[in-house]
Chain A
Amino acid sequence: MVGMNWHSLSEFIHMGGYALYVWGSFGVTALLIAGEILLLGARRKKALTLVRRTIKFGKAENDEDAA
């Protein structure tokens, strides 16, 4: 944790008195990115379920379309 800027972990966390602003920025950005990745996962799961259901139940309709 020792770079040319910080002498201790608490000093790093304190951010020279600007902890709220700095960590608020980086933290919320990290949260948003994590949130987007989670949402993408959920959307993929939903899409796959939809596809499986279409394959299972929508077969008849599919064949009709192709005919």
Chain B
Amino acid sequence: MSGFNLYKYSSPATFYVLAGRLIPWFYAAAALLGAAGLYVSFFLAPTDFQQGEAYRIIFIHVPAAWMSMFIYLAMAGWAALGLAFNTRLSFMMASALAPTGAMLTFVSLWTGALWGKPTWGAWWVWDARLTSELILFFLYLGFMALQAAIDDPRRADRAGALIALVGVVNVPIIYFSVKWWNTLHQGASVSLNTAPSMAAVMLAGMLVMALAVWMYAIAAALSRVRCIILERERNSQWVAQMLGAEPHPHPNLPLEGEGTNVEGI
């Protein structure tokens, strides 16, 4: 089979070691970018003359909203890969991303509420973005609940992947319909009417924060996928072997052969 190389990298055994080496770097990148982002949000960005200091919440609200959507896309991407090539690791990545994505969706809802109160005088308004985020949150919950309800890991992987794909086809339709509904009912809409000179600083701050969140999400997903690999593969030989060599895992150990244990025997 021509995809032998692909199989090597998508083998949970190889990936487990690789992920373990990458995680600290992603956490470090997230911490550095987060510090830079916070510096921009609190010290470089000036006070908004309409909203006062409350507007600083967008530096967490907007990146969280962006990333919550992006992670759903990534999840669907992994799901599609898994269904197309039947690689277990892709399904595991999809499940590993979901809780982090749901957490960020919750963050964007929570910060949206805390921003809404001083800005519009209400904890919750049916603004197009907040409403879409709420539905996205339900989509994440549905994905996780479905996977949790299925005992057979193979079925859980595939069923989750399918609902993620169905969801990702629907997200644009949902967003469009909510927006349409919102304008028809003259609902509140989030507008950042700030001076153009300030917009550049704000955009930079939001981008740096989004990058920080991105790095964090990768680190968290990789840590989670390592847990999933351990839970699923606890019967295979490579896990036993590696656990003996836990403090300094050598990638040169003959792991590849054992990794395909379940498919290969």
Contacts and interface: CB of A to CB of B under 8 A. Distances in A.
Given A22-B57, A26-B60, A40-B223, A62 B235 contact: yes
Nearest to A12: B42
Interface stretch (B112-120, B135-143, B187-195): B112-120
A35 B110 CA distance: 16
Interface string A25-67: 1101100110011001001100110111011001001100110
- Chain A contact residues, majority secondary structure: helix
Contacts of A47: 227, 230-231, 234
The range of chain B's interface size is 35 or more
B43 interface: yes
Given A18-B53, A43-B224, A55 B110 contact: no
B57 A25 contact: yes
B240 A44 contact: no
Interface in B207-265: 216, 220, 223-224, 226-227, 230-231, 234-235, 239-240, 243, 265
Interface of A: 3-6, 12, 15-18, 20-22, 24-26, 28-29, 32-33, 36-37, 40, 43-44, 47-48, 50-52, 54-55, 58, 61-62, 65-66
19 contacts: A3-B44, A4-B46, A5-B46, A15-B56, A17-B53, A18-B52, A21-B54, A22-B56, A22-B57, A26-B57, A26-B60, A29-B60, A32-B107, A36-B99, A40-B227, A48-B243, A50-B230, A58-B234, A65-B235
